[in-house]
Amino acid sequence: MPEINYKELNNYLKDRKAGEFAPVYLIYGQEMLYKNSLEALVHALIPESQRSMGYEPVEGTNENIKEAIERSNTYSLLSSTKVVAICDSKIFYSKQDQGELLEKAKQAYDANDIKKAAKYFLSLLSVLNLSYDDVSKANRTKTIKLDIERLGDDQWIDKIVTFCMENSLAVASQEDNAALLQHAVEKGFPKGNHLIITTDMTDKRRKLFKIILEQGMIIDCSVPTGDRRADRMAQEVVLSERMNEILGQSGKRMDKNAYMALYEMTGFDLRTFSNNLQKLISYVGDRKNITADDVQSVLKRTKKDPIYDLTNAVSERNMETSLFFLDTLLADNLHPLQVLAAITNQIRRLLLVKDFVKSPHGREWHGGVPFHEFKSRIMPAIQAYDVDLQGQLETWDRMLSKHTGKDDQPSKTKGKKKKLRTATDLVIAKNPKNPYPVYQMLLKSERFAMDELIAVLELLSQTDLSLKSTRQNPRLLLEKLILFICQEQNNVNSG
């Protein structure tokens, strides 16, 4: 059966008879969209009068998979149709999601939702096949191959682990549960029984995903979360659809200025956007029009400014905008070390780009190169530079290994070539198929001289030490750093 977009769901459900529904559905993507799609699908499958006996939602933790399969294979007592839903499933998470899982755990922890934080952290342990001992204070830097430090002091991990152990929360085997669910879908469920799985993230390469696509139907509720123009346009379409739906139900109107004011308050947070719109509808009472003044009067700014807004402003040497985003990020309880790590990464990328420009590979680059020429002439040179750099790093690593005697140690990989973390980190074009961000980075590098970037790198190191070892005000340290980076250049050239 096909994979459809959530916008096509209503047409799919329209006039569909009972025997025409798939035995299994996977609904994935943006949380509010997949929950709305779940509700619409359940409503179509089971009349409201039979819902209490024919619909059985199950929390989507890995340990509940067996229970959900058993329920899906049991006939309903009082209804000809039975629906079992595995809600907010973690079954499709993979190792590629480990960074996002760790960030979501930290976000939930910062929001004082320790239970939700524990779910994401347990999912991380599950996909990495780790135990609680593996993530103890002494071991976690060896077992979790992520930059934990950028998320601030890792005491929050200790508190999540303590919560999990005190509540006897086990780390489930994800692969075993995925295999069980896959076998159950392949075998099929009794006639009239349906299984629905909802999740925020899914790995389409997993065999379970492909089996569901063959045996059932998949509903895509995903929305791009990036900051590219295409991503923002997709987000605006979703928000506009939701706005029109809510306003249509209440008979209200909102002009473009009011919508933009609301968006500036919430960003792309569909749930908050919807709740704030309902507040505005209640506030205006019998009045038909909602204005920008209403938005300013009623709502508080909850928009989470992405950290790349700060790094972009810093790399553009825009002092006022950089300080604004620093203020909003710290107000959102982003740890100062996370802010510092983001700025450091941006400066490292700018240094790498400047080195490319100074190398033989970069001799054709100059700030006036149009994008279409950049793609055809400069991008191949950048990729060649990345290959040469990786080769040099591997040479240095082998020399270091010989010097330290590591080559004499038995290898656990038995013949597999060790992949260098630095070799994959220090590249300009991580995704050569998307050259535009690389082009923008080269343009931004024109604002700096190499010696300026080296001086900034030295101050970054001093700031890192001060944040970790002194009681100086973190905000003042970061403001001093930004002022130093964004100070006006005096006769600075691009070299």
What end-to-end distance do the CA atoms of the chain give, in Å? Answer: 57
β 289-290/253-254 pair status? parallel
Residues 237-246 as b/e (b if ≥16 CB within 10 A, e otherwise) read: ebbeebbeeb
pLDDT digits (tens, 9 = 90+) for 185-208: 999 999 889 999 999 888 888 889
Mean pLDDT, the chain cut into blocks of 10 residues (495 residues total) = 88 82 94 93 87 86 83 80 90 78 83 86 83 80 66 77 87 73 91 92 87 94 79 86 91 90 84 90 92 88 74 91 88 84 91 92 89 90 89 80 60 46 64 82 92 94 92 93 80 41
By the 8 A CB rule, do 151 and 335 touch? yes
Classify domain 308-398+422-486 at the CATH class level: mainly alpha
Instruction: State the DSSP H helix or E strand holding residue 330, giving kind and residue range, or none if neither.
Output: helix 319-331
Token pair belonging to 287:
């009045």
pLDDT, one tens digit per residue, over 231-266 is: 878 888 899 999 999 999 999 999 888 988 888 888
CATH of region 1-222, choose from 3.10.580.10, 3.40.50.300, 3.30.70.100, 3.20.20.70: 3.40.50.300
pLDDT reported for residue 96: 72
CATH of domain 229-298: 1.10.8.60
For residues 416 and 419, give the distance between their C-alpha atoms in angstroms, rounded to a whole number: 9
Domain coordinates in residue numbering, the chain: 1-222, 229-298, 308-398+422-486
The continuous run of DSSP H or E covering 193 comes out as strand 193-199
How high is the pLDDT of residue 484?
95
